[in-house]
Amino acid sequence: MNRRACLEALLPFVKDQLVVASVSGQWVWGQLSKHEGNLLLGSMGNALGVGMGLALGLPHRQVIVIESDGSVLLSLFNLPTLGTLHPDNLKVFVFDNEAYSGSRISRPSATAAKTDIAAIARDSGIERAVTVRDLGNFNREMSSTIKEPGLGFVVAKVEETFEHRNAERSDVDLMENKYRFVRYVERTEGKPIFLGPG
């Protein structure tokens, strides 16, 4: 199973949700989806926290977070906080390739050894945390996670691919993406968020 196939499967399920992607997911997701509700962060260790904040701030709105194993491990303290705050409108997808693939030397991450992110999530109070290892199971879990109410947390074990190293980078600047995202939230929520000076 690879991440692109999973994200292609996720694509038709994204309508008016807000999608937050960490650095590794954003390259592929940014290519696949031009949804105005995409927030591409360009950093590791931030997507889950930012997604949590969005979900808490807009509890009537579904928020999807696209994460990776390295990014989750960098901010592991997010999991007990997520289990405690438990926003029912948040859906988390962690693509776990068991490697620091962006480093270009592909050193194994802790999940290549004994660390089980879904188990940590469950023991942190995220009851519905599962690991899937093939596309059929991913489709099933992804579909039910998106459609059913409640906090969802799916860890997808994916093979390491190197397409992100050669992938064409988006021509949308991250700051530009942020403004587009916020204008989309303003329009769909019917409230001003970014106000001009004065």
Partner 1 sequence: MEPELASKLVNGLRSAGINFVTCLPETRLSQILPLMREDSFFQLAPVASEAEGVSIAAGASLGGKQVTCYMEGTGVFVSTYKSSYRGRTLRRADASFGFYVGSVADKHNSFHLDRSRRSLLQSDHRGNRIITHRAFPIAQPSKTLPIPLSKCR
Site for partner 1 in 171-190 (CB under 8 A): 174-175, 178, 181-182, 185-186, 189
CB of 113 to partner 1, least distance (A): 24
Helices (H), ranges, the chain: 3-10, 23-32, 47-57, 69-74, 78-85, 117-123, 135-147, 163-166, 174-189
Asked if 125 touches partner 1 (CB under 8 A), the answer is no
Asked if 71 touches partner 1 (CB under 8 A), the answer is no
Asked if 135 touches partner 1 (CB under 8 A), the answer is no
If the CB atoms of residues 35 and 130 are measured against partner 1, the closer one turns out to be: 35
The token pair that represents 70 in the structure block: 């390295």
Q: CA geometry: angle at 124 spanning 25 and 58, to 5°?
A: 60
The token pair that represents 137 in the structure block: 């199971």
- Closest-CA residue to 83 (of 118, 123, 141, 53): 123
Asked if 81 touches partner 1 (CB under 8 A), the answer is yes
Q: Candidates 6, 19, 21, 54: give the one binding partner 1 (CB under 8 A).
A: 54
CB of 47 to partner 1, least distance (A): 9
Our separate counts of H helices and E strands in the chain read 9, 8
CB of 4 to partner 1, least distance (A): 25
Asked if 60 touches partner 1 (CB under 8 A), the answer is no
Assign residue 64 a region (left: φ > 0; alpha: ψ between -120 and 50; beta: otherwise). Answer: beta
User: In this chain, which stretch among 43-51, 103-111, 114-122, 155-163 interacts with partner 1, using CB under 8 A?
Assistant: 43-51
Asked if 122 touches partner 1 (CB under 8 A), the answer is no
- For 98-111, give the secondary structure using H, E and C: CEEHHHCCCEECHH
Per DSSP, 125 falls in state T
Q: Contact positions toward partner 1, by CB under 8 A?
A: 18, 20, 39, 41-43, 45-46, 48-58, 61, 75, 77-78, 80-81, 84-85, 174-175, 178, 181-182, 185-186, 189, 191, 193, 197
